[in-house]
Amino acid sequence: MLQNDLLLRTLRGETTERTPVWMMRQAGRYLPEYMVLREKYGFFERCQTPELACEITLQPVDIVGVDAAILFSDILVVPQAMGLEVQLIESKGPFLPDPVKTAKDLTRVRVPDVHETLGYVMDAIKLIKQELNGRVPLIGFAGAPWTLLCYMVQGKGSKTFDEAKAFCYTQPELAHQLLQMITDTTIAYLKAQVKAGADTVQIFDSWGGLLSPHDFETFSLKYIRQIVAAVKEEVPTIIFAKGAWHSLDSMAATGAHGLGIDWCIKPEMARQFAGNNVTLQGNFDPAKLLSPIPVIQKEVKDMLRAFGPGRHIANLGHGILPNVPVDHARAFVDAVKEFRHA
């Protein structure tokens, strides 16, 4: 039994006493307690050791007081499980030394048994659920197929992911083969996370907004739709496709319970596009957390009023930045928790 189920009730469209709040990438480098573990263990070691993943997952719950925990892991453990080498280079980010560029490269990629390759994630989830002891729900997650293809083809982070796009535009059959393999893996992976105890799942399409509305449908939403259909009957499902506000209507039509939005769209406009049968999540500018605390407090109130009561989860419009002071993150969370709609 959950003591605080505000997030789940809001996703199901129930009215709650206040708006729930969590922050994307809330377990991470802005927390000194995380930095201590980062000094001692490699990134994938932290992901693959259930005790470490558990400790890091719980840090923001204990330190900042968020209404949900999100599993400490990374979207790139899926390409790894599918057979690609993934490194995380200090201060540079993800690096895949042998990305997928040709049909021959695709023969190295497989749809794995997720219990064999990602069993450590399910072990971490079981441990986290035990340690949370019902305090708040646990969010499981995976990258959207398009965003994972970006890294699997480009081989590293990018502002434009032009090589990933070129792959899709010049070798669409290969691209669709790869996207379907990622989709099949992700469905099995998210179902396993739910079975292990995840209370809800979020699909991160961080680079969905790089595609035109038409290409977003072709190379991203087509696959997200399959994932949502496969898990939405089991747990509430959230899609976060950064920058893809043009497709909020078609994302709502997938039957997802929640849609994440970034700070570049007005809440009232997002509501108009998404309709009334879905919960919106967002959309505080992550860099705004660098403002003085009274400014954060005022802008949180403005945001909450703009979304109105019900069907809203307070969050940032993208991940928290590493240089945000912890007391500013806490001020954001507290301002949401103290607010009541008139």
Contacting positions for ligand 1CP (CB under 6 A): 24-29, 38, 43, 70, 72, 74-76, 88, 93-94, 141, 157, 204, 206, 318-319
Instruction: Give the nearer residue to ligand 1CP in terms of CB position, either 53 or 174.
Output: 53
Q: Do the beta carbons of residue 200 and residue 139 sit within 8 Å?
A: yes
CA neighbor of 296 nearest in space, from 322, 338, 335, 266: 335
Alpha-carbon distance 155 to 104, whole Å? 16
151 catalytic? Reply is: yes
225 phi/psi in degrees, rounded to 5: -55, -40
Is the backbone peptide bond immediately before 277 cis, with ω within 30 degrees of 0?
A: no
Least CB distance to ligand 1CP at residue 135 (A)? 16
The closest alpha carbon to 204, from 173, 233, 227, 181, belongs to 227
172 versus 322: smaller Cβ distance to ligand 1CP: 322
Which residue type is seen at 73? S
Active-site annotation holds for 74: yes
Smallest distance, ligand 1CP to C-beta of residue 50, A: 15
Per the annotation, the verdict on 215 as an active-site residue is: no
**Catalytic-role residue among 74, 199, 205, 334:** 74
Residue 152, classed as helix, strand or coil, is: helix
- Closest contact distance (angstroms) between CB of 77 and ligand 1CP is 10
Eight-class DSSP state of 11:
H
Measured from the CB of residue 275, what is the shortest distance to ligand 1CP in angstroms?
A: 25
**E runs forming strands in the chain:** 69-70, 87-89, 93-95, 138-143, 200-205, 237-241, 258-260, 279-284, 312-316
Cβ closest to ligand 1CP, residue 43 vs residue 339: 43
- Nearest approach, Cβ of residue 207 and ligand 1CP (Å): 7
Is 38 considered catalytic here?
Answer: yes
Q: Which is nearer to ligand 1CP, 240 or 307 (CB)?
A: 240
CA 154 and chain centroid, separation? 20
108 is catalytic: no
Closest-CB residue for ligand 1CP? 157
Question: CB-wise, 76 or 329, nearer to ligand 1CP?
Answer: 76
Nearer to ligand 1CP, 43 or 263 (CB): 43
In whole angstroms, the minimum distance from the beta carbon of 29 to ligand 1CP comes to: 5
Phi, psi dihedrals of residue 274, rounded to the nearest 5°? -85, -20
Write down the least CB distance from residue 255 to ligand 1CP, Å: 22
Report, in this order, helix, strand and coil percent for the chain, each rounded to 5. Answer: 50, 10, 35
CB atoms within 10 A of CB 297: 16
Kindly tell me the burial class for residue 327, based on how many C-beta atoms sit within 10 Å of its own C-beta (0-12, 13-18, 19 or more). Answer: exposed
Say which of 151, 223, 271, 334 is annotated catalytic. 151
Q: What is the DSSP string of 305-322?
A: HHH-SSSEEEEESSPPPT
List 12, 18, 25, 135, catalytic entry: 25
Specify the residue, 7 or 271, whose C-beta has the smaller distance to ligand 1CP. 7
- Please, are residues 64 and 337 in contact by the beta-carbon 8 Å criterion? no
Q: Mind telling me the catalytic residues?
A: 25, 29, 38, 74, 151
